Structure formats: C-alpha cells, structure tokens
C-alpha cells in the first residue's frame, strides 16, 4: 500500500508534494517521511491512499483522510496473512458493510472487523440461496423451521428455504461463499493502546538484524537496537552463545537515517556502529534532519565519512524552507518584489530558474531542504585542494629529479 503524507500548511504551494510512503513501514521510515513532508512533531497532517494491493479496501471503505496508524496496521496484517485468511477477512468486511449500507466503512471499522474475525461464521462454496437451502435441508432444517414431517420436507424448495435462512440470520453472499456476523460479544476498539504495533522507539538510531556466522547449526536471528549499553551487548552475545561481536553478521539494517542503511555492510564492526548511534542520539531533531540532508548533499558513499560528519555539521548551511527548485525559484523572484501570479509567468519555468540560482550559490536541493557549504568550509576545502595539488607537484618534481 502506498500513501502520500502532506501538511495542510502547504495547501497553497503548487510545488509541494509532501512525502510518499510504502506501508507497512517502520517507525524510522514514517519519521523520515514526516521530515521530507516538513511535518514537525505535534503538527496536523493528512494521508491519502495512492495505491493499494487490496482493491476490496477501496471498494468497501472510504480511506481518504484515514489514520496513518490504522492504515499501517491493516497493511502489515494483510501482507502477513495467507491468501486463504486474506479472503476470509475480505468476506468479513463484505458482511459487515452490508449492514451499514449504503455508506462506506471508516478505516477504524476495518480494524474493528479484523479484531472480531472470530465473530463471523463462514461457509465457503455457498454462493446463492439454493446452495444455502440445500445445506439447511441436509443438515438441520428443524433448527430453522421447527418440526417438519416427511411429507412437508419433500415439498420444500431449497431456494425458498435458503432465502428464508438468509433473512433470519442476516447473512450475506460474497465472492467466496456465505457468511454472517455474530453480534453478541462484538469488541469495539476505541483506544489505540489496544492495538499492538511493531515499532521502534524514538531513541533508536539503528536496528541491526543479526545472526551468528560461526554457528554451524541454524541459530537465532535477532534485532539489536542501537544505541545500547554494554549490558545489552553482553545479553545479545549470550543469546548467540558467542563471546565476540565479530562473529555476528548483519543481515538487515533499519535506520532513522535512510542513507546509512546503504553504507553498512554485513561485516561492519557493531561496536563502531553503536558509537555512531550514540553520537546521533545527541543531535536535536533539527540537527538530525540537517545531518540527513548533508549526507544527501555529499552523496555520501563511505561510512567513515558519515561518522565524521556528526562533528562537522557547522560547516554546512541548511534550510528546510523550500520544497523544490521551482519553489526556490519563485521565492527568489518574490523576494525581489516580483509578482509571480502575473499572467506573464504562466509558462515560466520556475524549476529550471531555481536550479540555476541554486547552482550559482553552490546550493543543492535534497528531499529535506537546501544545503550549501559555509564560507569557512569552502575555504577549508579550497585549502585542502591546494595542498593536494602542491603534494602532487612535489611528487612530480621528485620523479623528474630522479630520472
């Protein structure tokens, strides 16, 4: 399931797209989408379903403006279920929605149906009233009609019996068969705390999925959240029955900084990653967004460079104000007192103009905002380049002199 997350504060900005997110998602992925969409903690936001692999959700429910937590929960459970259980859930939704007709269900009601699956009876293969009637006549007609003589029994029409049974039970025919809802004992979830979600804590910077590579037999595979204290490290080693972190291989990485996931290989030193996580957790939310933006600015492909960057953030200027080059271009013109709403700008390429202006200023637009070097950092880089050229020249002189 793919959703778009966006802020109402940018409703009038034609260049704003918000952020796109695939569900189910980890807490880190959701947090990163919020950063891209420029949504700060506690601010209002809206969610729009862009694509779903489960068409029946759109058929039976109004998902526009649905709660992100509920959508994520549904996506997680539906992707996890087998085709058989997914069909059973679809049938349950069809039965429930028939009672609410003609309105569509809200997302919270879809969650309620999931938690009350044991309150539905299903009979696969019964697709019409005649099928249901034949089942009733064969199994327990007296439970529906009371005592029936043999003479009367022979005169009963299966279709009419099925129609009567359906009316009495409040049943529904779906694409998978016949079913009904048992209303007694129905649980209505109104408190989000009743829903168990697999999420990382806010204090987690990296999550490593580990296995013991030295274990001959198939051993455990465990998620380790970083940063962590030494006691947690020792506990992890005990669970793997090893004394050395170097014996553990990283199978997967989840991070609050997406770029880091691609920089960590399977043999990376876990203690080193823990120190990095401890450094990152000390950054403020604003600094953390800046860190992610600068990683993109540098097109960072080396983990050590990413580690060193934590202490070098002051060397870069970052602004989350603009959401695209077009937004920057229009903003630049408006700051010059130009009214960009004038018809003369109806076909103006703000995107190309904004990109040109950014290049002139040494700025690059990242998903999180614009980044550029500070004057001090530019001077330092020019000095490094100059020193590098001098060293290269000395080397060439040495080679020439030795010839």
Q: Which residues contact 97 (CB under 8 A, 6 or more apart)?
A: 60, 61, 104, 105
Give the pTM. Answer: 0.79
Task: Show contacts of 357-362: CB within 8 Å, 24+ apart.
Answer: 357/328, 357/329, 357/332, 358/325, 358/328
Q: Which of 90-94, 218-222, 240-244, 287-291 has the highest mean pLDDT?
A: 287-291
Q: Which of 175, 197, 199 is nearest to 93 (CA)?
A: 175
Task: Show contacts of 132-139: CB within 8 Å, 24+ apart.
Answer: 132/161, 132/162, 132/165, 132/166, 132/171, 132/178, 133/157, 133/158, 133/159, 133/160, 133/161, 133/162, 133/163, 133/165, 134/158, 134/162, 136/161, 136/162, 136/165, 137/161
Residues of the chain with pLDDT > 70, as a percent, come to 88
pLDDT in tens, 364-374: 999 999 999 98
Is omega for the bond preceding 24 within 30 degrees of 0, making it cis? yes
- The DSSP 8-state label assigned to residue 61 in this structure reads B
- The DSSP 8-state label assigned to residue 342 in this structure reads S
pLDDT of residue 41: 83
Give 248's strand partners: 212
Angle subtended at Cα 294 by Cα 315 and Cα 278, rounded to the nearest 5 degrees = 90
pLDDT in tens, 142-160: 777 888 877 777 778 889 9
Q: Residue 198: is its pLDDT beyond 60?
A: no
DSSP state letters, 119-133: GEEEEET--SHHHHH
Distance of CA 53 to the CA centre of its chain: 15
pLDDT of residue 157: 86
Q: Which of 60-69, 114-123, 279-288 has the highest mean pLDDT?
A: 279-288
Q: Residue 286: is its pLDDT beyond 90?
A: yes
pLDDT in tens, 299-334: 998 999 999 999 999 999 999 999 999 999 999 999
Give the ranges where 25-120 is alpha helix by DSSP (H). Answer: 27-36, 55-60, 68-80, 83-100, 107-115
Mean pLDDT computed over 204-233: 85
Q: Does residue 221 sit in helix, strand or coil?
A: strand
Residue 274 and residue 233 in contact, taking contact as beta carbons nearer than 8 Å: yes
């Amino acid at each position: 399931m793919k959703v778009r997350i966006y802020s109402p504060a940018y409703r009038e900005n034609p260049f704003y797209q918000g952020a796109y997110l695939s569900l189910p998602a980890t807490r880190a992925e959701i947090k990163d989408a919020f950063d891209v969409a420029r949504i700060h903690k506690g601010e209002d936001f809206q969610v729009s379903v862009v694509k779903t692999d489960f068409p029946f959700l759109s058929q039976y429910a109004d998902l526009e403006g649905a709660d992100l937590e509920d959508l994520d929960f549904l996506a997680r459970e539906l992707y996890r279920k087998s085709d058989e259980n997914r069909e059973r859930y679809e049938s349950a939704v069809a039965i429930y929605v028939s009672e609410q007709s003609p309105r569509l269900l809200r997302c919270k009601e879809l969650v309620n149906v999931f938690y009350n699956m044991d309150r539905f009876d299903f009979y696969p293969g019964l697709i019409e009233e005649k099928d249901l009637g034949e089942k009733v006549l064969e199994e327990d007609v007296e439970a529906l009609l009371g005592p029936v003589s043999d003479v009367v029994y022979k005169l009963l029409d299966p279709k009419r019996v099925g129609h009567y049974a359906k009316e009495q039970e409040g049943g529904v025919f779906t694409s998978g068969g016949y079913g009904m809802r048992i209303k007694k004992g129905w649980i209505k979830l109104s408190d989000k705390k009743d829903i168990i979600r697999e999420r990382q804590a806010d204090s987690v910077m990296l999550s490593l999925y580990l296995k013991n590579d030295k274990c001959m037999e198939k051993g455990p595979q465990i998620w380790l959240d970083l940063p962590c204290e030494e006691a947690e490290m020792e506990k992890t080693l005990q669970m793997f029955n090893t004394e050395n972190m170097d014996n553990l291989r990283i199978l997967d990485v989840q991070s609050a900084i997406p770029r880091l996931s691609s920089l960590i290989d399977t043999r990376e030193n876990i203690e080193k990653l823990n120190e990095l996580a401890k450094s990152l957790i000390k950054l403020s939310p604003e600094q953390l967004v800046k860190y992610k933006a600068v990683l993109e600015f540098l097109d960072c492909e080396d983990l050590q460079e990413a580690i060193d960057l934590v202490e070098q953030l002051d060397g870069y200027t970052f602004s989350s104000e603009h959401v695209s080059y077009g937004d920057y271009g229009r903003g630049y013109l408006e700051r010059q007192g130009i009214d960009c709403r004038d018809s003369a700008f109806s076909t103006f390429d703000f995107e190309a103009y904004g990109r040109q202006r950014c290049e002139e200023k040494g700025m690059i637009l990242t998903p999180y905002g614009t980044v550029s070097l500070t004057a001090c950092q530019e001077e330092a880089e020019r000095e490094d380049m100059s020193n590098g050229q001098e060293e290269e020249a000395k080397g060439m002189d040495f080679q020439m002199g030795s010839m």
